[in-house]
Amino acid sequence: MPNREAHEAAMRRALAIAEQGPADDPNPRVGCVILDAEGRPVAEGWHRGSGTPHAEVEALGRLSPEQRDRIGELTAVVTLEPCNHTGRTGPCAVALAETGIGAVVYALDDPGEVSGGGADALRAAGVAVTGGVLAEEARELIAPWLARQDHLTDPSPGRTRDAASEAEKSASLQARRPHVTVKWAQTLDGRAAAADGSSQWITGVDARGDVHRRRAEADAILVGTGTLLADDPALTARAETGGLLVPAEQQPVPVVLGRRPIPSGARILEHPALAARGLAEPIRLTGDDLAADLAELHERGIRRLFVEGGPAVASSLIAAGLVDEVLIYLAPALLGGPRLALGDIGVADMSGIRRLRILHLAQLGADLLVKAALEPAAVPPAPAAPGASATPTTPTTAEKEH
Ligand X SMILES: NC(=O)c1ccc[n+]([C@@H]2O[C@H](COP(=O)([O-])OP(=O)(O)OC[C@H]3O[C@@H](n4cnc5c(N)ncnc54)[C@H](OP(=O)(O)O)[C@@H]3O)[C@@H](O)[C@H]2O)c1
CA–CA gap between residue 83 and residue 113 (Å, rounded)? 11
Site string for ligand X, 359-388 (x = CB under 6 A): ---------------------------xx-
283-285 and 103-108 beta bridge pairing: unpaired
Stretch that binds ligand X, among 36-44, 64-72, 127-135, 252-260 (CB under 6 A): 252-260
N- to C-terminal Cα separation, the chain: 52
What residues between 258 and 277 interact with ligand X by CB under 6 A?
Answer: 258-260
Q: Which is nearer to ligand X, 82 or 311 (CB)?
A: 311
Determine if 63 is a binding residue for ligand X (CB under 6 A): no
Contact pattern from residue 173 through residue 212 relative to ligand X, giving x for each residue in contact according to CB under 6 A and a dash for the rest:
-----------xx------x--------------------
> How far, in Å, CA of 202 to CA of 194, rounded?
9
**Residues with active-site annotation:** 56
- DSSP letter string, 300-329: TT--EEEE---HHHHHHHHHTT--SEEEEE
Listed ranges 48-56, 167-175, 354-362, 392-400: which one lies at the site for ligand X (CB under 6 A): 392-400
- Does residue 227 bind ligand X (CB under 6 A)? yes
Nearest residue (CB) to ligand X, 21 versus 224: 224
Q: Decide whether 274 or 313 has the Cβ nearer to ligand X.
A: 313
Q: In what order do the strands lie in the sheet with 367-374?
A: 283-285, 253-257, 220-224, 304-307, 179-187, 325-331, 367-374, 356-364
CA distances from residue 3 to 70, 107, 137, 326 in whole angstroms, order as listed: 18, 15, 19, 34
Distance CA 57, CA 31 (A): 10
Work out which of 97, 223, 331, 342 binds ligand X, going by CB under 6 A.
223
Inter-CA distances, 394 with 168, 201, 310, 340, Å: 38, 18, 9, 8
- 396 sits near ligand X (criterion: CB under 6 A): yes
Q: Taking CB under 6 A as the criterion, which residues in 299-328 touch ligand X?
A: 308-313, 316
Residue 402 C-beta: closest distance to ligand X, Å: 8
Binds ligand X by CB under 6 A, chosen from 117, 118, 254, 395: 395
Contact 76, 103 (CB under 8 A): yes
Sign of CA dihedral 310, 316, 322, 328: positive
Residue nearest to ligand X (CB): 287
Helix (H, G, I), strand (E, B) or coil at 75: strand
Instruction: Kindly determine how many residues on this chain lie close enough to bind ligand X according to the rule CB under 6 A.
Output: 35
> Which CB sits closer to ligand X, 191 or 298?
191
Please work out, in degrees rounded to the nearest 5, the angle formed at the alpha carbon of residue 166 by the alpha carbons of 162 and 172.
Answer: 90
Q: Per CB under 6 A, which region of 37-45, 70-78, 223-231, 351-359 contacts ligand X?
A: 223-231
| Binding positions for ligand X, rule: CB under 6 A | 184-185, 192, 223-227, 230-231, 257-260, 287, 290, 308-313, 316, 341, 386-387, 390-391, 394-400
